[in-house]
Amino acid sequence: MQRKKFSPETITQTILQLKEQNLLNDDDFARFWMRNRDTHSPRSQRMIQTELKLKGVSSEVASVATQDIDEVDAARRAAAKKARVLNGLDKDTFRKKLSSFLIRRGFGWGTTKKVVEEIIVSIKLDKHK
């Protein structure tokens, strides 16, 4: 509204009305964003918190909204989906690409290494490929 040159009073009044009607609620938005990310494109707790902060949500609200994320479970779900795309690669290339993918999603090295090794064992990648 500032870019459209509305007065500060109009902006304040509009924000108050939206909050009263529960149309502007950072808590609800943060929970929605977290559930959507977790369902469709799993990421680490830290990455989702960063995304929320970039959208203007406070650190405290972002922390509360993401507190129940299971990092290992989220990494497994993301890795399983990506592993189908990487199927057919040799073991070393598969490991590097899947690890890089999980790191870009914000998962720590310990979680990434654990999940990548689990996936490799579960799909029985041949050691000689």
Task: Please answer whether residues 64 and 34 qualify as being in contact, where contact means their C-beta atoms are separated by less than 8 angstroms.
Answer: no
Helix (H) or strand (E) holding 110: helix 109-122
CB atoms within 10 A of CB 94: 20
CB atoms within 10 A of CB 63: 14
Q: What is the mean pLDDT of residues 20-49?
A: 92
pLDDT at 125: 66
pLDDT at 16: 87
Shared-domain flag, residues 81 and 56: no
Q: Compute the distance between CA of residue 129 and CA of residue 74 in angstroms, rounded to an integer.
A: 28
Number of compact structural domains in the chain: 2
Shared-domain flag, residues 23 and 61: yes
Q: Compute the distance between CA of residue 85 and CA of residue 87 in angstroms, rounded to an integer.
A: 6
User: For residue 4, is pLDDT > 90?
Assistant: no
pLDDT at 124: 78
Shared-domain flag, residues 100 and 55: no
Q: What is the mean pLDDT of residues 59-80?
A: 96
Q: Has residue 80 been placed in a domain?
A: yes
Q: Compute the distance between CA of residue 52 and CA of residue 66 in angstroms, rounded to an integer.
A: 10
**Residues near 35 by Cβ (< 8 Å), separated by ≥ 6?**
none
Instruction: Report how far apart, in Å, the C-alpha atoms of 27 and of each of 13, 39, 47, 60, 63 are.
Output: 20, 18, 17, 10, 10
Q: Compute the distance between CA of residue 63 and CA of residue 103 in angstroms, rounded to an integer.
A: 20
Shared-domain flag, residues 61 and 78: no
Task: Please answer whether residues 71 and 107 qualify as being in contact, where contact means their C-beta atoms are separated by less than 8 angstroms.
Answer: yes
Domain that holds residue 29: 8-66
Q: Has residue 129 been placed in a domain?
A: no
- pTM, entire model: 0.80
